[in-house]
Amino acid sequence: MKNLEQKLQQQVPRRVPASWREQILTQARESAGAAAGKASDRGEEHLGVGEPSWITLLIGWVKAWVSPSPAALVTLMALWVATLGFNLALPEEKPVSTFAQASPSAPVPAVVQLSLLQQERLRRELLDLTPEVSGALAPPLKPPAGLPRRSAVVSPYHYA
């Protein structure tokens, strides 16, 4: 192996073309001057050469923002935690009934009308609403003849 290595090392790399020196140095100085001018115009320093890709810029930005500053990282984490807490603290969304979603002008089905009517009737019976009030809600129910009115049965005056 040593012989091969020695043999390879005998090869002499090409020399850098002499004309490049002035060209490269001149261009570097001009570029630095132009960059300094732009930076002073913008009030910031221009970094890098050429047009880096957006992913490079993004990674560089994240690194620059987080890596050298633990405080920034802690702030970011605190923001995440606060967001999560806020999200958990929000009341759960109540399910909206189908009737609420329906258009007010939509016709109510007959079955529903009947059901509502029965519900109202029961409610009126339980609360024993007066005819003035209950009349506005639904047609009064007529008790069968011969039976006392319910209000007469439960009235406190009955025991007086």
Partner 1 sequence: MAEGFDLERLYDSHAQALFAFVLQLTSDEAETRDVLQEIFVRLARRPELLAGVRDERGFLLRLSRNLTIDWVRRREARDRAHETTRVNLAEVFLPLTDPDEEAFRRALEVALGTLPLEQRTVVYLKLWEGLTFDAIAETLEIPLNTAASRYRYALDKLRDQLRPLYDEIR
Residues 6 or more apart from 76 whose CB is under 8 A from it? 66
Least CB distance from residue 14 to partner 1, whole Å?
6
- 156 exposed, middle or buried (CB, 10 Å; 0-12, 13-18, 19+)? exposed
Q: How far apart are CA 116 and CA 118, in angstroms?
A: 5
Q: How far apart are CA 98 and CA 115, in angstroms?
A: 16
Residues 6 or more apart from 156 whose CB is under 8 A from it? none
Shorter beta-carbon distance to partner 1: residue 68 or 109: 68
Q: Which stretch binds partner 1 (CB under 8 A): 44-52, 69-77, 86-94, 112-120?
A: 44-52
Is residue 55 part of the contact set for partner 1 (CB under 8 A)? no
Torsion sign, CA atoms 128, 133, 138, 143: positive
Is residue 21 part of the contact set for partner 1 (CB under 8 A)? yes
> Among residues 50, 95, 107, 148, which is the contact residue for partner 1, using CB under 8 A?
50
Least CB distance from residue 91 to partner 1, whole Å?
53
Q: Which stretch binds partner 1 (CB under 8 A): 29-37, 82-90, 95-103, 106-114?
A: 29-37
Q: Which stretch binds partner 1 (CB under 8 A): 5-13, 63-71, 129-137, 143-151?
A: 5-13
Shorter beta-carbon distance to partner 1: residue 13 or 95: 13
- Tell me if 138 sits within 8 A of 117, measured CB to CB: yes
Summarize as ranges the residues that interact with partner 1 (CB under 8 A). Answer: 1, 3-5, 7-9, 11-16, 20-21, 24-25, 27-29, 31-32, 35-36, 46-50
